[in-house]
Structure 1
Amino acid sequence: MRPRLRFLEPVLVERIVEEAKAILSTRGVLVEGPMVARLEELGLKVDGSSGRLKMSSEFIDSGIESAPSSIELFDREGESHALLEKDRVHFVPGSSALKILDRETNEMRGPTSRDLAEYVRVADGLERISYLSTAFVPQDIPQEVADAWRLYLCLAHSKKPVVSGAFTAHGVTRMARLLSFFRSGKEELIAKPLAIFTCCPNTPLRWGVDPLQNLVECAEWGIPVEIVPVLLLGMISPATTVGALVLHTAEVLSGLALAQAVRRGTPILFGGAPAAFHMQLMTNPMTAVEALQVFCGYAQIAEHLKLPSQAYMALSDAKFNDPQAGFETGIGAFLAALSGINSVSGPGMLDYVNCFSLEKLVFDDEIVAHAQRFIRPVGIKGDLPTGELIDELVRENHLLTAEHTLEHWPEELYLPGPMVDRTNWDQWEERGKPSGRDRALEMIEEKLDEYEVDPLPDDLHGEIQGLFHDTFDGKLEMPEY
């Protein structure tokens, strides 16, 4: 039996879903921008005076029914890489930070393309990081194409699928064209998705110009979408868990229904990034215990609706890789794993999802290993009845050489890697008293030295870079990476 966390009673899950549908049918969502005309072409009726679109329960149920319960991701070579369904849990680096924690100076600074390429090389070699994200935004490339540039660097340096997203005008189209270069065309990209894109509604109950355009264009391209409401409990969301879950569910279902109206079968992840609003400091911690309750709650709602799930967990709001970073990340990782969240975005992230740290990423890889080990199914393995084992233990005073131990300990007793210090004090002194930061820096260099991924063919590089040059009439100077 696999360990699972059940946070809500089943009847409460159903009531939350029904209340969310009622909110959408009576209040609707505000939709804005040129894509409103596209929705009206599909037969959706937007109120001309308020700009709100009300959605019937039948419309929402039809969307839920057509959304896949399983999403298979493929690598850049077209090989199957990850299956997002049921209680399969995958961890992926947090994304879209504006700063990095420089590993040499331990100071926060703006990232470069070289930093992003280095991150990809390290993350590519981390065993428990299932796939990549466009973790931060390089500042040495014009921001008009920065979203696509991040995706390009990830695909140029790793075969793994990528979690990404657009934040510029026409960003989805440019990025979708980039992805299609790794397939025979649009249809194969739909059949073998290489990326998940994030779309965030504007809480409360609003799809603004850019989010709506991104959502519609992702659906048109068949790109899997994680719908990620960013609730701030007590500010732009009810302060209570159930109230927040109703709003959260309504926002996810509104995006799901719109995407299915554009293209039935568009893969959707029931995602989120709820945070508690700190009434004194006016900060928004996603690691607050109240936010963690919302994460665990909507994981159950996603399961009830038979939808893959996503969450911004296994991260920290701390500024450095200190004890706070460790306990916040560890708690989040274990809760996400126990909740069966399919795609957990967070490793490597600090400071309210604003700063990415390579040191934290390699340490978080070990936290993920512990969380994944904890949720392995527990069953009988030659230890019931236990009498013979106890007899041998009493007779020998140990079980070190017992046949049962020799058979089972390699898979039962997890031995952490070097990021976790299991030496005693004397052993630690003999090894030069390395700090946690020393171990992280050594691990980063080790992963960089071990990195080995076939480069993209020159002609493919040329095609992709043409996308960027076209935007600037051939006058774009490519950063070094």
Structure 2
Amino acid sequence: MTMMAGDDETQDRPRRGRSGRSERGGAAARRAARAGAGPGQQLTYIRRALKPYEVLDEEALALVEANADTVLEEIGIEFRDDPEALALWKEAGADVRGDRVHFPKGLCRQLLKTAPSVFTQHARNPERSVEIGGNATVFAPVYGPPFVRDLDGMRRYATIEDFRNFVKLAYMAPSIHHSGGTVCEPVDVPVNKRHLDMVFSHMRYSDKPFMGSVTAPDRAEDTVAMARILFGEDFVNQNTVVINLINANSPMVFDETMLGAAKVYARANQACIVTPFILAGAMSPVTVIGTLTQVLAEVMAGAAFTQLVRPGAPVLFGTFASSISMQSGAPTFGTPEPSLVSYGAAQLARRLGLPFRTGGSLTGSKIPDAQAADESANTLNSTVLAGTNFVLHAAGWLEGGLVSSYEKFMMDIDQLGMQQRMCEPLDVSENGQAMDAIREVGPGSHYLGCAHTQANFQTAFYRSSIADNNSFEQWAAEGEKTAAQRANQLARSWLETYQAPPLDPGIEEGLLDFIAKRKESMPDAFA
């Protein structure tokens, strides 16, 4: 990413008011100071006071569960090209026919009884550790895009520098609780070696919890080995320090890559998010109930498999649900049907006793515009209201997941802060009741100058870091900046002031030595 002074030099010039005087006075200076003041106090993961919004009644839940049992027993799930997985299922009592596994009714549910409903993912900074499950919600950044939209307005392939920048921004963001995983795909590093640089970036440039590599079993092994250097072997053996995304190849297939990574992490007692990747109409039926049936069957098979590998290994019920345009086949976001799938899947996860992952700030827009804001708000609202425990793609997602956007990242974390405030319990203390203010003001006056308002005004309402709520004249005097331009300015300011969290030099040396030896052990590969 090239750091430049600004998007447009004319935007930073003082505007003249009707009097001819410059209007960049105290108000503009205060706003500029706020923009460069840094991200503010870090927030812990959310402990939701809001009850989850539910769309399925008992009859509908029982129907979906019965249909999923039928899918598992009669149609089956393929575990492709993994003889060990098939042998484990056969030993457990499943009917294995080639790569297709048919599950007796109740088998998967019985196996899942050993999976924890709540667990802790430990961060290297204990204050950043997160609880996953129950009433907790954890926000994590975008995952997987090969492109970025940078601060100079360019859409281009991502680099390792972009990767580090997004890790730094996530570390600084108060409302991001997790460093995430593949925040973008650094294509300037060989495919077979980039996982080492990505995992190290999470470990070095952040002290929040992070995700591991799943693109090959040996890369998962490298992640676990690096975690043991960072945390200590005994600690990793007894605790969960890495969470990992295991996608089903919907419909109804798990391939050898995902199965291999799942086995590595489950055996090491590290968490797996078993997630069907659903574009309804292409990878699942077009109906909500039909999609929920397939999702439940796929998750139960994949999650139960982790318990075959190691009973008690942490596993999440995941789903990524989107609809498609029936005219173009492209994924669509922010529409009602995927939200209904998320609400229903969350209910099914709670009935299984598993933590739930879905959602984020999703959009098909190509730039951080009104479409992006609308679609992202719709998906994020339903994500939070569903009672989601782990939220992937919470910030930075653009262009249907093809792009990680710096500006969108900053706009999204502003929305995450609002959601965090929304989930807090209402203040019913004496101060929250505000009876002294009501008595002081009485009929016909106002609350602006009363003692209660003066004591609470700094924290009473959420203050957006992106939105402009000033008069037209003040907005014009400050350069007529759009929300995206203000987000751009904020991202630049954060990256300029970033300071890495401390890391023991001996641990850093051990990680770098491990990475060097692993890279020397294999030739570069870019495919």
Give the TM-score, by structure 1 length. 0.91
Structure 1 counterpart of 2:475? 428
Q: Say whether 1:288 aligns with 2:363.
A: no
Distance 2:503 2:80 in 1: 39
CA distance in 2 between partners of 1:88 and 1:422 (Å): 32
Deviates more, 1:278-287 or 1:61-70: 278-287
Q: Please give the alpha-carbon distance, in whole angstroms, between the structure 1 residues aligned to 2:97 and 2:304.
A: 22
How far apart are residue 476 of structure 1 and its match? 6.9
Say yes or no: does 1:212 pair with 2:228: no
Rounded to whole Å, the distance in 2 between the matches of 1:18 and 1:85 is 25
Establish whether residue 356 from structure 1 lines up as the match of residue 404 from structure 2: yes
The answer (yes or no) to whether the contact 1:2–1:378 under 8 Å persists in 2 is: no
State the match for 1:172 in structure 2.
220
Cα drift, residue 396 of structure 1 = 5.0
1:154 partnered with 2:202? yes
What is the letter of the counterpart of residue 261 of structure 1?
L
1:75-154 alignment runs, 5 A limit: 75-77=123-125, 81-104=129-152, 106-133=153-180, 134-154=182-202
1:14 is paired with a residue whose SS is: helix
Corresponding residue for 1:460? 507
Aligned equivalents of 1:190, 1:101: Cα separation in 2? 39
1:322 matches 2:361: no
Q: Which residue of 2 aligns with 1:73?
A: 121
Report the residue type matching 1:420 in the other structure. A
2:107 aligns to what? 59
Task: Please list, as runs of the form range in 1=range in 2, the aligned pairs for 1:390-401 lying within 5 A after superposition.
Answer: 393-395=441-443, 397-401=445-449
* Alpha-carbon displacement from aligned partner over 1:53-92 (angstroms, at most 9, x marks no partner): 2223332222321111112121124556211222222211
AA in 2 matched with 1:121: K
Provide the rounded CA distance (Å) in 1 between the counterparts of 2:87 and 2:342.
30
Q: CA deviation at 1:364?
A: 0.5
Does 1:223 pair with 2:270?
Answer: yes
In the alignment, the residues of structure 2 paired with residue 394 and residue 238 of structure 1 have an alpha-carbon distance, to the nearest angstrom, of 60
Looking at structure 2, the residues matched to 414 and 249 of structure 1 have their Cα atoms a distance apart, in angstroms, of 38
Which deviates more, 460-469 or 195-204? Answer: 460-469
Find the aligned partners of 1:284 and 1:24 in 2 and give their Cα distance: 27
* Residue-by-residue CA offset, 1:419-473 (whole Å, 9 max, x unaligned): 1112121221232323223311221122123322245445434433444444443
1:295/1:112 CA distance change after superposition, 3 Å: same
Q: Using a 3 Å threshold, how does the CA distance of structure 1 residues 41 and 250 change in structure 2: closer, same or farther?
A: closer
Whole-Å separation in 2 of the counterparts to 1:152 and 1:289: 39
Pick closer, same or farther for the CA change 1:177–1:383 going to 2, 3 Å: closer
Report the residue type matching 1:428 in the other structure.
W
- Once the two structures are TM-superposed, the CA of residue 149 in structure 1 deviates from its matched residue by 2.5
Q: Which residue of 69, 83, 96 corresponds with 1:21?
A: 69
Please point out which of 399, 420, 425 is paired with 1:377: 425
Q: Is the contact between residue 128 and residue 369 of structure 1 (CA under 8 Å) also seen in structure 2? A: yes
Number of residues of Structure 1 aligned to a counterpart in Structure 2: 475
1:356 CA displacement: 0.1
Residue 236 of structure 1 aligns with which residue? 283
Separation in 2, partners of 1:23, 1:306: 21
Moved more, 339-348 or 438-447: 438-447
Identify the range of structure 1 (241-250 vs 436-445) with the bigger mean alpha-carbon deviation.
436-445
Q: Report the Cα distance in structure 2 between the residues aligned to 1:63 and 1:48, rounded to whole angstroms.
A: 17
CA distance in 1, matches of 2:205, 2:479: 34
Give distance in 2, aligned partners of 1:262 and 1:268: 12
Give the counterpart letter for 2:261 in structure 1.
N
Q: Which amino acid aligns with 2:311?
A: R
Any gaps of 5 or more consecutive residues in structure 1?
none
| SS of residue matched to 2:400 | coil
Amino acid at match of 1:401: G
Q: Secondary structure, in 3 states, of the residue corresponding to 1:199?
A: strand
Distance 1:429 1:277, change over 3 A: closer
Distance 1:387 1:158 in 2: 44
The answer to whether structure 1 residue 10 and structure 2 residue 58 are counterparts is: yes
The one-letter amino acid paired with 1:366 is D
AA of the residue aligned to 1:424:
S
Q: Deviations over 1:179-222 (max 9, x none)?
A: 1111221x421433222100001111111111111112211111
Q: 1:386 to 1:110 in 2, by over 3 A?
A: closer
Q: Summarize the Cα distance change of 1:183–1:385 in structure 2 as closer, same or farther, 3 Å threshold.
A: closer
Q: Shift of residue 148 of structure 1?
A: 3.4
Q: Equivalents in 1 of 2:433, 2:231: separation in Å?
A: 55
SS in 2 for 1:312: coil
**1:118, CA displacement in angstroms?**
1.5
**Which residue of structure 1 aligns with residue 416 of structure 2?**
368
Separation in structure 1 between the aligned mates of residue 513 and residue 86 of structure 2, nearest angstrom:
29
Q: Distance in 1 between matches of 2:89 and 2:288?
A: 37
Give the distance between the partners of 2:201 and 2:238, measured in 1 at CA: 23
Amino acid at match of 1:292: S
1:410 CA displacement: 4.7
Q: Which residue of 1 aligns with 2:46?
A: none
Alignment check: 8 A CA contact 1:73 1:161 kept: yes
Question: For residue 463 of structure 1, what is the amino acid of its counterpart?
Answer: G
Amino acid at match of 1:182: L
The one-letter code matched in structure 2 to 1:263 is: R
1:245 counterpart letter in structure 2: L
Shift of 1:22: 2.9
Q: 1:401, 1:342 → 2: CA distance? A: 41
Give the superposition deviation at 1:120: 1.3
Check the 8 A contact 1:42/1:262 in 2, yes or no: no
| Residues 131-163 of structure 1 deviation map (CA, whole Å, 9 limit, x = unaligned) | 111201101211012233311111111111113
- Cα distance in 1, alignment partners of residues 232 and 407 from structure 2: 38
Q: More displaced, 41-50 or 10-19?
A: 41-50
Q: Alpha-carbon deviations, 1:19-39, whole Å to 9, x = none?
A: 222321232211122353574
Whether 1:443 and 2:490 are equivalent positions in the alignment is yes
Write the distance in 1 (CA, Å) between the matches of 2:86 and 2:197: 28
- Tell me, yes or no, if structure 1 residue 197 matches structure 2 residue 248: no
1:255 partner amino acid = G
Output the TM-score relative to the length of structure 2: 0.83
Residues 117-126 or 241-250, more deviating: 117-126
Moved more, 47-56 or 119-128: 47-56
Matching residue within 291, 298, 309 for 1:262: 309
- Backbone CA RMSD of aligned residues: 2.7
**1:314 Cα deviation from its structure 2 partner:** 1.5
- The answer on whether the counterparts of 1:94 and 1:315 sit within 8 Å (CA) in structure 2 is no
Q: Would you say the 8 A contact 1:204–1:236 is kept in 2?
A: yes
The secondary structure found in structure 1 opposite 2:248 is: coil
